Structure 1
Amino acid sequence: MRRTLLRAAAAATALATAVSMAACSSDDDSAGGRSADSAATSNGEFPTSVDTKFGEITIDEAPQRVVALGWGDAEIALDLGVQPVGARDWLGFGEDNDGISPFNDDSYDESPEILDTEEVEYEKIASLNPDLILDVRSAGDEDTYETLSDIATTVSVPEGSESFTTTWEDQVSMISTALGLPETGDELIGEVNGRIDEAREANPDWSDKTASVVTQFGDGWGAYVAGDARMDLVTALGFQENSEVADMAEDNFYVDLSEENIDVTDSDVVIGFPIGSDTTEFEESSGWNRIGAVKDGRGIVADEELTSAFSLGTPDAMLYAIDELQPQLEEATS
């Protein structure tokens, strides 16, 4: 498994949810236009069981054809040496890139089927003849789970998870366990946490500072709170969440705001980015410039690559995001 972090830039557009997952080699032709089963590069341990919102799921033997539908599921599968036969490209990395982010330098031997992001294409998924479906960071909808389970063994969200709030650590742990590779999953988690610890220990003063993560979509504004990968990374680095924003969340990971009340996000440091618009326009917008931290030079506008990494929240993406954010956070809090 290659773990070198790709630094190349990519034009990622609107942020969103899941991608796809992987499988092992076979001599048989695959369905849905795929010419061969995907290859797994690691030997898994089976049978194995995964605890989910819908009970304990047992996988008796190494899956040969895995489809991943959860946000970042495919990238994690690739990190584990397993290649998808079907994938969702929620962040718009493109079919030419097999839906893979520029932060992951693992690749497919054969391109996956790229699946629609707006609805679950049950018939197309079934045509891929999967024997395991991953939907680990997702809405966790029971009807969707039951329909997918009629197609193949499905690993959905963890118990207690709300819509798209599966933590990256749970996601890696569940996927690696489902693939019979729990020790490899632990290594991935350890690598990311080691990098987080390194950045936090180099900046102990961050623990006394607050932070907000702000976005603009069209004319609307909003802020992410705990339970979202973006805010969770910032707090993991040592920052405290803006309590006033957190109190507005109402068991969600996102707070709707307007230009009139965007200044509620004012913190020791504010990280912002636009969804579906130009970063220059965002940086010059009246809403962004209403925030006190921005006026004082303590605002960070994430570029497209950092926004994508910040939003994807997979191990490779997080490593990239930390490397990019750390010097900017140090400057903003100096």
Structure 2
Amino acid sequence: MRTAPRRRALRPLVAGAAAALLLAACSTATPEDAGTSPAAADGGAFPVTLENTFGETTIEQQPEAVASVAWGNHDVALALGVAPVGMAAQTYGDDDGDGIHPWTHEALEELGATGDDLPVLFDETSGVDFEAVANTAPDVVLAAYSGLTEEEWTTLSEIAPTVSFPEIAWGTNWRDMALVNGRALGLEDEAEAEIADVEQQIEDALADRPGIEGKTVAYAYLDPTDLSSFGVYTKIDARVQLLDDLGMSLAPSIQAFEDDGLFYVDLSAEQADQIADADIFATYGDETTLATLQAHPLLGKIPAIANGAVVVLQDGTPLASATSGPTVLSVPWALDEYLDLFQAAAQNVK
């Protein structure tokens, strides 16, 4: 196996931050010239069988035409030097309306997969576009990070072997996404090397921000027009799992809420005191969000909010997208700006 190339930390092209995940935008690109075949791997890796919640996926030989659906799986292929023939268009956090996040676009440029060689973009605003996927004639479909239903997985598997999430819908962290998709490509060693590179970048970045270490976080989503309730993400969620990588942890009170494999739990404003143990409160919004929360008669009593130990990710921006569904490419891209937000909030912890 070759050693994966050392990737530099990709830098944000815009400022801001926020959350959520979701889909699509459309492209008129055609599949004929799209995609770059994987670099030579150990032929002994195939056939390979991967287990997921719906069954087993067997890939008989190293894929050449690689498609991906859902959120971020294409980043794994790109990090391993493989330009997909098709991938899901991204709408959340797409700053220029082209359906491609900035870190993904830079990786495509590095592989020369632009212009006529740009992968087909699947419009997933109404769900998986099976016809568009089939038209790219893939040898494999990557979806290790996704919320595929069994019916969707079965339909995709009739097109090509489909790699779905190992255990929980939208619960695959960025490491496992890289490892599972990498194994499907016959590039597991390369995936491990990419992971190690990102881990080193995280370690270096944290060394400059010691105030973050050990802080507990409540990661929430809010409707600013109705603060009678709010949601908190559980440790199943990928953005929360990223906190662990960054030296922080989910507030113990929220860990106690987890049930039925949910990646979030809804709370009423009257339950705000139940997350009083969070050092930092993180959510999505804009420049008015902190003042709005502090003025609320119930939410404003949460110690982190009262103290101003709040991270507000600008909703709908690339930074929000990069950290709500982190990938082996998006984490380095967002790292410094994201950690700066938590470092600033940590200074207000009392």
Partner residue of 2:35?
38
2:198 is matched with which residue: 188, 192, 198?
A: 192
Q: For the structure 1 residues 244 and 4, does the alpha-carbon distance in structure 2 shift closer, same or farther, using more than 3 Å as the test? A: closer
Q: For the structure 1 residues 229 and 18, does the alpha-carbon distance in structure 2 shift closer, same or farther, using more than 3 Å as the test? A: farther
Q: For the structure 1 residues 281 and 263, does the alpha-carbon distance in structure 2 shift closer, same or farther, using more than 3 Å as the test? A: farther
SS at match of 2:255: helix
Partner residue of 1:139?
147
Select between 307-316 and 41-50 the one with higher mean Cα deviation: 41-50
- In the TM superposition, residue 62 of structure 1 has moved relative to its aligned partner by 2.9
Quick check: 1:74–1:87 contact (8 Å CA) kept in 2? yes
* 1:75-122 deviation line (CA, Å, top 9, x unaligned): 221111111222223443559765332234211332323322331222
CA distance in 1, matches of 2:16, 2:175: 27
Q: For 1:206-217, list aligned pairs within 5 A.
A: 206=212, 208-217=214-223
Q: For the structure 1 residues 298 and 4, does the alpha-carbon distance in structure 2 shift closer, same or farther, using more than 3 Å as the test? A: closer
* 1:145-179 deviation line (CA, Å, top 9, x unaligned): 11111111111111xx1111012111100111111
Partner residue of 1:285?
292
TM norm structure 1: 0.83
1:328 is matched with which residue: 341, 345, 350?
A: 341
CA distance in 2, matches of 1:208, 1:125: 44
Aligned residues: 318
Q: For the structure 1 residues 14 and 32, does the alpha-carbon distance in structure 2 shift closer, same or farther, using more than 3 Å as the test? A: same
Partner residue of 2:330?
317
Answer yes or no: is 1:238 the counterpart of 2:247: yes
SS at match of 2:103: coil
CA distance in 1, matches of 2:247, 2:19: 28
CA distance in 1, matches of 2:179, 2:160: 20
- In the TM superposition, residue 313 of structure 1 has moved relative to its aligned partner by 0.4
Equivalent residue letter for 1:142: E
Q: For 1:101-116, list aligned pairs within 5 A.
A: 101-104=101-104, 105-107=106-108, 108-109=113-114, 110-111=117-118, 112-116=120-124
Q: For the structure 1 residues 194 and 256, does the alpha-carbon distance in structure 2 shift closer, same or farther, using more than 3 Å as the test? A: same
Q: For the structure 1 residues 33 and 331, does the alpha-carbon distance in structure 2 shift closer, same or farther, using more than 3 Å as the test? A: closer
SS at match of 1:162: coil
Quick check: 2:68–2:86 contact (8 Å CA) kept in 1? yes
CA distance in 2, matches of 1:33, 1:39: 14
CA distance in 1, matches of 2:18, 2:248: 27
Equivalent residue letter for 2:58: T
SS at match of 2:85: strand
CA distance in 1, matches of 2:133, 2:96: 20
SS at match of 1:280: coil
Structure number with the bigger relative contact order (C-alpha 8 A, sep ≥ 6) is 2
1:255 is matched with which residue: 234, 254, 265?
A: 265
Quick check: 2:11–2:332 contact (8 Å CA) kept in 1? no
Partner residue of 2:311?
300
Q: For 1:125-204, list aligned pairs within 5 A.
A: 125-158=133-166, 161-200=167-206
Partner residue of 1:26?
none
Select between 86-95 and 219-228 the one with higher mean Cα deviation: 86-95
Quick check: 1:222–1:256 contact (8 Å CA) kept in 2? yes
Identical residues among aligned pairs (%): 29
The two structures, once aligned, show a CA RMSD in angstroms of 3.0
CA distance in 2, matches of 1:52, 1:126: 23
* 1:109-139 deviation line (CA, Å, top 9, x unaligned): 3232332233122222222222211111112
SS at match of 1:315: coil
TM norm structure 2: 0.79
SS at match of 2:287: helix
Equivalent residue letter for 2:290: E
- In the TM superposition, residue 38 of structure 1 has moved relative to its aligned partner by 1.3
SS at match of 1:84: coil
Q: For the structure 1 residues 93 and 34, does the alpha-carbon distance in structure 2 shift closer, same or farther, using more than 3 Å as the test? A: farther
Q: Tell me, which stretches of 5 or more residues in structure 2 are unaligned?
A: none
2:279 is matched with which residue: 268, 271, 286?
A: 268
CA distance in 1, matches of 2:23, 2:186: 21
Quick check: 2:146–2:169 contact (8 Å CA) kept in 1? yes
